Amino acid sequence: MDLSWMAWTWPTAIFFLSILALLVAMAVWEYFSPGGGPRIGIFGFETTRGDRLFIALLGAAFISLGWLGLTELSLWWALALSLVYAVGVFRLV
Amino acid sequence: MDKPWNNKAWFLVLPVVVLVAFSAVIPLMTVVNYSVQDTFGQNVFFWAGTDWYEQTLASERFRDALVRNLVFSFLILAIEVPLGIAVALAMPRKGWGVSVCLVLMALPLLIPWNVVGTIWQVFGRIDIGLLGRVLADIGIDYNYTQEPIAAWATVIVMDVWHWTSLVVLLCYAGLVSIPDAYYQAARIDGASRWAVFRYIQLPKLKHVLLIAILLRFMDSFMIYTEPFVVTGGGPGNSTTFLSIDLVKMAIGQFDLGPAAAMSIVYFLIVLALSYVFYTVMTKTGADRPGGR
């Protein structure tokens, strides 16, 4: 099957494989610990670990966009900040 | 007792996952791939990295279109939601009037977007349109092809005409599903009309209103056809919303890389705002004692 129309590059393939790996890891986590681990975090509403992953990924996207729009520094710093943010989301939200 | 969990049920979701993969995920992945490259056609691409994202975020054109879109969606929600609730409350609950009202309400929803645009384009013209001629005859300076305020008014009134019916029908369905016992209890307590609305009807409409607000927000934020047919994004750029700008860039200028980067930023904004709306309306207060 010719997928050249999708214009794949290694960086985008690695990006999507990382997302896929995260989803697989979440599925395995759910298999061994079903129910989604619901809890009420600092925002006062209930979240499952799926919600927390979504908030972490969406936040990471905006951190990266903000980094690109506001600074000249390398995007790797935005990735590091996103990881710190994701840890914060999984622990507190 | 612990709730039983059976993860085999996820296999039932598999057909939907496959369908969504082909209709949404694969096209979205392709747009991401385009957003980091440049092309001049012939399926030949050149790596551009984050250049198009930086260009989009620094672009005054993008920011102006985004502000226009946010203002438009805010105005649409501020008009259509209260108006939809008011019309739904005024509609009869029994008798022949119900069918007549429901058919009248459904009519605008059945008209294709481009036809709605054409109807209002003709309707608002000052030479042959009924609205344009009447406004001109009573001395109102109205010309949607030359004045930004007239163009905005036309696009907003057109959207209100087209889509308030959706809010009405959803609210009406919510209202007729309220059991009579609530109204009987309110009568016994001597509740005023306002108290019945505030403490019975509005809370019971919460879920349909959530759907109505989400649908109208997403739809108005992605509006394209109607304003494009009526004003073409003008006069100047005054009604150029994000989707119109995006199409100009992708198809008019064939700048696929910048258009793809703009699409991703646009998509993330819609996703984030929809999530915030959904969370605020469904989860906030639901877990507190007495909160619903």
Q: What single string gives the DSSP state of each residue in A66-77?
A: HHHHH--S-HHH
> Which pLDDT score is estimated for B41?
79
Using alpha carbons only, give the angle B216, B52, A69 rounded to the nearest 5 degrees. 80
Q: Where are the domains of chain A?
A: 4-92
At B196 the pLDDT is 94
**In this predicted structure, what is the pLDDT of residue B6?**
72
- Tell whether the model's pLDDT for residue B4 goes beyond 80: no
* Domain range summary for chain B, segments of one domain joined by +: 71-282
Reported as a single tens digit per residue, the pLDDT across B162-214 is 999 999 999 999 999 999 999 999 999 999 999 999 999 999 998 899 889 98
Interface test with A, best of B275, B283, B284, B288 (most A CBs within 10 A): B283
- Residue B249, pLDDT above cutoff 60: yes
Contact A65 B45 (CB under 8 A): no
pLDDT at B1 over 60: no
Q: Do B33 and A31 touch (CB under 8 A)?
A: no
At B129-146, the pLDDT tens digits run: 999 999 989 988 888 989
How close does chain A come to B263, measured CA to CA in Å?
13
What's the pLDDT at B290?
41
Query: For B71-282, CATH number?
Result: 1.10.3720.10
The more confidently predicted of residues B286 and B200 is B200
B283 contacts chain A (CB < 8 A): yes
Residue B22, helix vs strand vs coil: helix
B80-108 tens-digit pLDDT: 999 999 999 999 988 899 999 999 999 99
Interface confidence (ipTM) of the complex: 0.92
Judged by average pLDDT, the poorest of A20-24, B37-41, B241-245 is B37-41
How far B148 CA lies from chain A's nearest CA (Å)?
A: 30
Residues of B in contact with A7 (CB under 8 A): 30, 33-34, 37, 39, 43, 45
Structure-model confidence comparison of residues B153 and B282, the more confident one: B153
Instruction: Report which of residues B9 and B64 the model is more confident about.
Output: B64
The Cα–Cα gap between B245 and B252 comes to 10
SS3 B61: helix
For A40, list phi and psi in degrees, rounded to 5. -100, 120
A4 with B287: Cβ contact below 8 A: no
Compute the residue count for chain A.
Answer: 93
Cβ–Cβ below 8 Å for A30 and B7? yes
Tens digit of pLDDT for each residue in A58-81? 999 999 999 999 999 999 999 999
Q: Residue B3 gets which letter from DSSP?
A: P
Average pLDDT over residues A43-66: 94
For residue B108, CA distances in Å to B58, B80, B100, B105, B175 come to 39, 14, 14, 7, 21
CB atoms within 10 A of CB A36: 16
Q: Do B53 and A65 touch (CB under 8 A)?
A: yes
Taking all residues of chain B, what is their mean pLDDT, rounded to a whole number?
90
Residue B194 contacts A where some CB pair is shorter than 8 Å: no
B26 interfaces chain A, CB cutoff of 8 Å: yes
Task: Report the gap between the CA of B187 and the closest CA in chain A (Å).
Answer: 35
Q: Is the pLDDT of residue B286 over 60?
A: no
pLDDT at B3: 63
Query: Would you state the pLDDT for residue B289?
Result: 43
Contact state of A45 with B5 under an 8 Å Cβ cutoff: no
Interface mutation target, options B13, B25, B32, chain A, most CBs of A under 10 Å? B32
Torsion sign over Cα B12, B15, B16, B17: positive
Span B204-224, pLDDT tens digits: 998 899 889 989 999 999 999
Q: By CA distance, what is A4's nearest residue in B?
A: B43
More confident residue, A45 or B85: B85
Rounded mean pLDDT, B17-37? 92
d(CA B226, CA B56): 25
**Percentage of residues in chain A with pLDDT exceeding 70?**
99
Beta strands in chain B (DSSP E): 37-39, 45-47
Cα(B292)–Cα(B283) distance, integer angstroms: 9
- The predicted structure's pLDDT at residue B127: 87
Torsion-angle region of B285 (φ positive above 0: left; ψ -120 to 50: alpha; else: beta): left
**Are B29 and A68 an interchain contact pair (Cβ–Cβ within 8 Å)?**
no
Q: Are B93 and B201 in contact (CB under 8 A)?
A: no
In the A/B pair of chains, how many CB contacts fall below 8 A?
66
DSSP B43: T
- Tell me how close the Cα of A77 comes to any Cα of chain B, in angstroms: 14
